[in-house]
Structure 1
Amino acid sequence: MTGSKLIPLSGTVPGTPGRKRSDEAGRASEAQFRLLMDAMPQIVWMMRPDGQATYFNQRWLDYSGWSLKDSLGHGWIGLVHPDDSLRVSRLLVQACGGGEPCEIECRLRRADGVYRWMLGRTAAQSDAAGRTTQWLGTLTDIDELKQSREILEKDLAMNRIAGRVARLGGWAIELPERRLIWSDENCLIHDVPPGYQPTLEEGIGFFFPEHRAIVARHVQDCAEHGIPYEFVLPKRTATGRHIWVRSIAEAVRDEAGKIVSIQGAFQDISEQKEAEARMLALEARLTATLESITDGFCLIDKDWKFTFMNGQAQRMLKRCPEDLLGKILWQEFPEAVGTRIERECRLSMQEQRTIRLETFYLPLKTWFHFHIYPTEAGLAVYFQDITQRRTEQAQLRLLETAVSRLNDMVVIMEAEPFDASGRRIVFVNDAFERQTGYSRSDIIGKTPTLLWGANTCHPEVERILSAMDNWQPVRAEVVIYTKAGKELWVETDIAPIANVSGKFTHWVAVERDITERRQQQQEILSLNGELEERVLLRTAQLATATRELESFAYSVSHDLRSPLNTIHAFSQLLLKIDGGQISDKGKHYLDRIGVGVKQMGDLIEGLLALAQLSREQIKSEQVDLSNIARRIEQDCREREPQRQAQLRIQDGLSAQGDARLLSAVFQNLLGNAWKFTSRQSLAHIEVGSESGVDGDTVFFVKDNGAGFDMAFAHKLFGTFERLHSPGDFSGTGIGLATVKRIIERHGGRVWAESKLNEGARFFFTLGRKDGAQTSRAT
């Protein structure tokens, strides 16, 4: 069928003007049609628009045990299971009333009284005027498939939740440092070497740009408010491979309830997404009529020639009817010669018996399930692509193996308590046997009370049991006992497992040995008192030393000015009075003295500025940073009018802070950008802001100048530290130290990024106190 019209197997199209079929040709066509219907693995039936059945194929008669007369009189609805009968009748009435195809799953009684699940499909046939002339339907036995699917879905759900609770592909964010840690499994998911530890920004960067803000918001909400989250998003791995991941996370709190970290896991669900896409395509094809059924179907005569193939067979075999009809099977598919496919087909034809087999066909890289039925004319072959099912079964076996080999103990229990002692254990993995000494035969069928002892905390056990009674996941730390009587502290995560219908069927517990950690915690607690006293004492000593050092630096810098001015004055006086008697070499020495005095003066001024930064109070006000940057640009251009430079300063930059100190920040950063681009034919300098991951406004100054090697970035903001020689670029090495001191006094931070000879990018933030940091673009 195509749409709702039958395609005849031979002869002319019914109703073609000027063509009349003879009775003999009609009977031959009818016989060939019945042969085709009888050879099909499905039950085929027809009925008039008034509901009167007009045809059933042989497979119906074999299945029901009824005669054709009884079948035409009662129809197939009479054998539907009582629980399904009303629903089936309503769907058929609705389909007949609207003239639309329909699909029904129901249980149908077999001749031996056994009910089996059937997939029924029906479609209307219409005449040229669009009136429904009859209904054509099929009933496909899906009982084994339905049972297998339920078992497979149950096993997949159980192992999926076990893997999820075990944090396969886990990660953590330590707070407040916001340091990201990846497990080795997570590294493999992202195509990076085991042990790779990205920054939080780099970790979020694996998501596509349009999704990064969503991820960052989830992380922020979890870190600040403890809101757990779960989402599914695409990512790009380090090698450029696109994957889909399910991400779950929750906050971890200390004993005081403070959020100290976020723990989560990634699950690569790329294959699942691909399977979902394939299933959607399959569901679309299921709505088609007989010509487009999801199973391939073809007829082969006794000479091994193709006489019929449906659309699905064409798609599976990747061949069109013009290429195959009338052609010999073994010539068109020579790779099948000598394989199990050929042997079973010949055996079916020779012994006239039905054969089923599963086999892999290499040229198409596909697993097929074949149903081969002998007929008077040859063979009727019905086949399915089961590649995905085989893949899922392999994945299930792989997941079972992975769970059994985890280092954490995995225990699966029945959903409901067996008796007063609790829920019986139905599964433990290898790690459980290794760490407790109990074998599977010792523990299977027993309850967890076998593991409890004198020091097991009963209030904690009661809390666990209460959560389980309410079907809630629970985490706890308890003492259990090995078979040898040794105490073990374990951290246990317990969660319920539900089947497809939502009914809870089991509990899964993942337990980790934390005995050593608990011992270390006790040692840490005993040292806390002494450590706090030490910290307070050292903090006071450090504050005193800092004040003395600042006072000393200010005094020394101030006292050095007087002898330095004397040296400069007398050297200039000597040059003025006795300049004519001094040799050229002497004059050179005097010039060197002058240069040294100036450099020393600059260093003293820098030290005084640094000392003053720590002593002066910050006068907070709203500061127009864009105006400051433009004023500094004008000063630079006036000093060097011959320079070719392009400066882009973002409008509306503003912040809350000390105007004089923030001006010094831009004086140093813009001054450096101007200085280190002096060797460029056209200097490019940009001043602006952007939004940081944590919501802070990040200000920046970028240039295309000399840049620096990031290997020495740790020296960049140190006092008197220089990354370029004085012969290349002038300077004292105090400017960036001044910038760092000012930014830190404003509660912010400053950092830089660069490559040698590719320019530098300096970034800084200012404190977010009472909304102190703002930036607007106009």
Structure 2
Amino acid sequence: MPAGVDPATDAEDARRFVARSEASSWSVVLEIPRDLYRAPQVNAAIALVIAILGATLAGVLGGLLASRRLGRAVAALAITPCPVTRMPDITEIAAVRQLLEENVARREAAEAARRESEQRFRATFEQAAVGIALVAPDGHWLRMNRKLCDIVGYTPDELLTKTFRDITHPDDLESDLRSMQQTLAGEIDAYSMEKRYIRKDGRLVWINLTVALVWRPDRRPDYFIAVIEDIQRRKETEAALRASEATLKEAQRRAGIGNWRWDLRTGDHVWSDEIYRIYRRDPDLPPAVYPEVQTYFAPDSWARLAAAVEGCVASGEPYECDAEVVRADGTHRWIVARGEATRDAKGAVVELHGTVQDITERKQAADALRELNASLEQRVELRTAELTAANKDLDSFAYSVSHDLRAPLRAMSGFSQALLEDYRDKLGDEAKVYLDQIGIASRKMGELIEGILALSRVTRGELQRETIDLSALADRILADLRRAEPDRAIRVDIEPGMSVFGDARMIEAVMLNLLDNAWKYTARTPAPVIRVRAGDVAGRRGICVSDNGAGFDMAHADKLFQPFRRLHRQDEFPGIGIGLTTVQRIIRRHGGEIHAQAAPGQGATFCFTLASESEAG
């Protein structure tokens, strides 16, 4: 700037200066270019920057060298140095390094313990014998182990979409929710309950649930820990036990049996409900002790029972004793008391146990039976006398039939035959027919008399039972029928080896009537067949006689065994209608039954049974 120029007054702006002359009125204006005007300032700034950069670079280089040394020392604190590594000779660094090494060791030990604990928890959680689950406060499943999935039948992914409410039986849900709310409210720490889950397949499963709540540090509920034990089998066992106990009580009630136990060491007595009922003792009272029981018995009965009980205590031998009970209301009952002893390891009797059974009805029935037997003996004697008298009357009737009726019949038959012989030439044809009818009627009457006598004989007399060769008997009877009618061509089929046990005379009458009927009713059959075979009759072994003859309508089968009732006309098949009645009575006397099966024109089959030798004995 020119000398003598004041920038404050002489400079018009930052780069123009005005100089006035004192000798004249001229003024000189000097304008400095911008670059020249600012050059000193720029140079000074550049120098300052260079100085700062130099100082900074020197500081950085020095700091870098120092930091590298310090970094190597600090880095050495974080690693385990090799034995040959020379540690820095800095006491503070060495102390820090020692502290860091101890912290690392503790951290590694803690980490290992944490991993071991986590593995142990995971193994315990997954392999537990009970179900374990973590449940959110809103009831959603958060985590569950394999056992819980097995219990409810759902997979873990399926359970994660549900809440515990979804699988809890409706009847058990209210109690579970109430306990859950009490836990969330801090009223209780945990709760346990038995409830039912609904499995995926729809079946119910009983479980025992134990629940505890985990809290966050800020005392907000975090999650529930639930332990679920499958108790379905136990519940089923308990139900079966209750049913068994109920059945036992009902059986004891129906049978009038009560059980008791007496501990000789403590004097304690235990009675079942039925004993209270038998003695009519108030169920609210304890069981009566041994001396007090005496008040429930008649004196003579108590003497016998007390002796039996004391003998069991002394020797350990069981006892059984009938006794008369006298209740407080004066009613009398009869019981049978049974007892056995229990010994300890040393062989001493320490307990008695047994039963008391009400046998009043049995006693009454036995007394009634004795009275009935006594009266029956009298009635049997009376009946025997009446039967003897009836048999005598029947014998008298048979004698009358045999003599008093046969004599007039013989006279009628004889005189009609004499008329035909002596006056045949003088009698007209009509008179001869009348005399023939008289002879026929007389013979029929004789047959009826024989039938009545035969029927009366089968109901009297003692049976003389023996083993009878029925095959041989049938063969002999059919051979006799063939000899009587040699012109008949009939096929006979008799099963060999058949035998029965009975009265030979009567069984022969049975087979004679049945085979004679088969022979008679196949007379008009083109190819007649008679069969005698063993067969099953209402589940019992029997004998069947069948033919392919005329047969009959089963609608009239009820008339078969009625005396003098016939299913065919006399002109078709003659007979008096007494044979099957005789057969039925003989078979019934032998403890058997006879049945018939037939159809018109298709033959008939008669099957009968007889009591076996063991049954007859």
What TM-score bracket applies, with the shorter chain setting the length?
0.5 to 0.7
Q: How does 1:444-523 map to 2 (within 5 A)?
A: 444-447=287-290, 448-456=293-301, 458-459=303-304, 461-463=306-308, 465-466=310-311, 474-483=319-328, 486=330, 488-496=332-340, 506-513=353-360, 517=364
Post-superposition offset of 1:641: 7.4
- Distance in 1 between residues matched to 2:310 and 2:545, nearest whole Å: 60
Which of 646, 662, 666 is equivalent to 2:507?
A: 662
Instruction: Report Cα offsets for 1:154-193 as digits up to 9, x if no partner.
Output: xxxxxxxxxxxxxxxxxxxxxxxxxxxxxxxxxxxxxxxx
Checking the alignment, whether the CA contact within 8 Å between 2:339 and 2:352 is kept in structure 1 is no
Post-superposition offset of 1:652: 1.8
Report the secondary structure of 1:750's partner residue: coil
Checking the alignment, whether the CA contact within 8 Å between 2:402 and 2:449 is kept in structure 1 is yes
Post-superposition offset of 1:509: 1.0
Which of 368, 373, 388 is equivalent to 2:206?
A: 368
Checking the alignment, whether the CA contact within 8 Å between 2:194 and 2:209 is kept in structure 1 is no
- Distance in 1 between residues matched to 2:341 and 2:410, nearest whole Å: 84
Checking the alignment, whether the CA contact within 8 Å between 1:306 and 1:329 is kept in structure 2 is no
- Distance in 2 between residues matched to 1:655 and 1:622, nearest whole Å: 6
Q: Cα distance 1:427–1:571, how it changes in 2: closer, same or farther (>3 A)?
A: same
Q: How does 1:14-33 map to 2 (within 5 A)?
A: none
Checking the alignment, whether the CA contact within 8 Å between 1:306 and 1:328 is kept in structure 2 is no
Report the secondary structure of 1:490's partner residue: strand
The one-letter amino acid paired with 2:508 is S
Report the secondary structure of 1:701's partner residue: strand
1:749 aligns to 2:591 (yes or no): yes
The one-letter amino acid paired with 1:439 is D
Which of 591, 606, 616 is equivalent to 2:451?
A: 606
Q: Which runs of 5+ in 2 are unaligned?
A: 1-111, 215-222
Which of 579, 598, 615 is equivalent to 1:735?
A: 579
Instruction: Report Cα offsets for 1:537-575 as digits up to 9, x if no partner.
Output: 763564354245235314513553454456567778779
Post-superposition offset of 1:685: 6.5
Q: Which runs of 5+ in 1 are unaligned?
A: 1-25, 45-289, 774-778
Which of 224, 230, 236 is equivalent to 1:388?
A: 236
Match of 1:159 in 2: none
Instruction: Report Cα offsets for 1:91-132 as digits up to 9, x if no partner.
Output: xxxxxxxxxxxxxxxxxxxxxxxxxxxxxxxxxxxxxxxxxx
Post-superposition offset of 1:593: 6.5
Bigger proportion of residues as helix: 2
1:35 aligns to 2:91 (yes or no): no
Report the secondary structure of 1:414's partner residue: strand
Report the secondary structure of 2:391's partner residue: helix
Post-superposition offset of 1:410: 3.4
Task: Please tell me whether Structure 1 or Structure 2 has the larger radius of gyration of its CA atoms.
Answer: 2
- Distance in 2 between residues matched to 1:458 and 1:607, nearest whole Å: 67
- Distance in 2 between residues matched to 1:578 and 1:305, nearest whole Å: 131
1:410 aligns to 2:246 (yes or no): no
Checking the alignment, whether the CA contact within 8 Å between 2:263 and 2:351 is kept in structure 1 is yes
Q: How does 1:117-196 map to 2 (within 5 A)?
A: none
The one-letter amino acid paired with 1:490 is W
The one-letter amino acid paired with 1:512 is I
Checking the alignment, whether the CA contact within 8 Å between 1:690 and 1:699 is kept in structure 2 is yes
- Distance in 1 between residues matched to 2:533 and 2:439, nearest whole Å: 36
Q: Cα distance 1:409–1:609, how it changes in 2: closer, same or farther (>3 A)?
A: closer
Aligned-residue Cα RMSD (Å) equals 6.2
Post-superposition offset of 1:653: 2.0
- Identify the range of structure 1 (346-355 vs 559-568) with the bigger mean alpha-carbon deviation: 346-355
- Distance in 2 between residues matched to 1:355 and 1:339, nearest whole Å: 14
Report the secondary structure of 1:609's partner residue: helix
Match of 1:552 in 2: 397
- Distance in 2 between residues matched to 1:445 and 1:458, nearest whole Å: 18
Instruction: Report Cα offsets for 1:617-646 as digits up to 9, x if no partner.
Output: 988876321232355567889899799x99
Report the secondary structure of 1:477's partner residue: strand
Checking the alignment, whether the CA contact within 8 Å between 2:194 and 2:207 is kept in structure 1 is yes
Post-superposition offset of 1:735: 3.2
- Distance in 2 between residues matched to 1:454 and 1:710, nearest whole Å: 69
Match of 2:173 in 1: 339
Q: Cα distance 1:474–1:332, how it changes in 2: closer, same or farther (>3 A)?
A: same
The one-letter amino acid paired with 1:513 is T
- Distance in 2 between residues matched to 1:661 and 1:768, nearest whole Å: 19
Post-superposition offset of 1:398: 3.0
Q: How does 1:575-654 map to 2 (within 5 A)?
A: 581-582=429-430, 597=442, 599-610=444-455, 623-630=468-475, 650-654=495-499
Match of 1:304 in 2: 140
Post-superposition offset of 1:689: 6.9
Q: Cα distance 1:607–1:522, how it changes in 2: closer, same or farther (>3 A)?
A: closer
Q: Cα distance 1:413–1:384, how it changes in 2: closer, same or farther (>3 A)?
A: closer
Q: How does 1:52-451 map to 2 (within 5 A)?
A: 297=131, 299=133, 302=136, 304-305=140-141, 310=146, 314=150, 317=152, 319=153, 321=155, 324=158, 327-329=161-163, 333=167, 339-340=173-174, 343=177, 355-360=191-196, 364=202, 366-373=204-211, 379=226, 381-385=228-232, 386-395=234-243, 398-399=246-247, 402=250, 408=256, 410=258, 412-414=260-262, 416=264, 425-427=269-271, 429=273, 432-433=276-277, 436=279, 438-440=281-283, 444-447=287-290, 448-451=293-296
Report the secondary structure of 2:229's partner residue: strand
Checking the alignment, whether the CA contact within 8 Å between 2:263 and 2:269 is kept in structure 1 is no
The one-letter amino acid paired with 2:474 is A
Report the secondary structure of 2:228's partner residue: strand
Checking the alignment, whether the CA contact within 8 Å between 1:358 and 1:367 is kept in structure 2 is no
- Distance in 2 between residues matched to 1:30 and 1:729, nearest whole Å: 111
Checking the alignment, whether the CA contact within 8 Å between 2:325 and 2:335 is kept in structure 1 is no
- Distance in 1 between residues matched to 2:144 and 2:203, nearest whole Å: 24
- Distance in 2 between residues matched to 1:438 and 1:362, nearest whole Å: 47
Post-superposition offset of 1:349: 9.4
Checking the alignment, whether the CA contact within 8 Å between 2:552 and 2:567 is kept in structure 1 is no
Checking the alignment, whether the CA contact within 8 Å between 2:258 and 2:272 is kept in structure 1 is yes
Bigger proportion of residues as strand: 1
Match of 1:272 in 2: none
TM-score (norm 1): 0.45
Which of 762, 765, 768 is equivalent to 2:608?
A: 762
TM-score (norm 2): 0.54
The one-letter amino acid paired with 2:591 is R
Post-superposition offset of 1:492: 1.7
Match of 2:23 in 1: none
Post-superposition offset of 1:764: 0.6
Q: Cα distance 1:493–1:362, how it changes in 2: closer, same or farther (>3 A)?
A: farther
Checking the alignment, whether the CA contact within 8 Å between 2:543 and 2:609 is kept in structure 1 is yes
Q: Cα distance 1:429–1:349, how it changes in 2: closer, same or farther (>3 A)?
A: closer
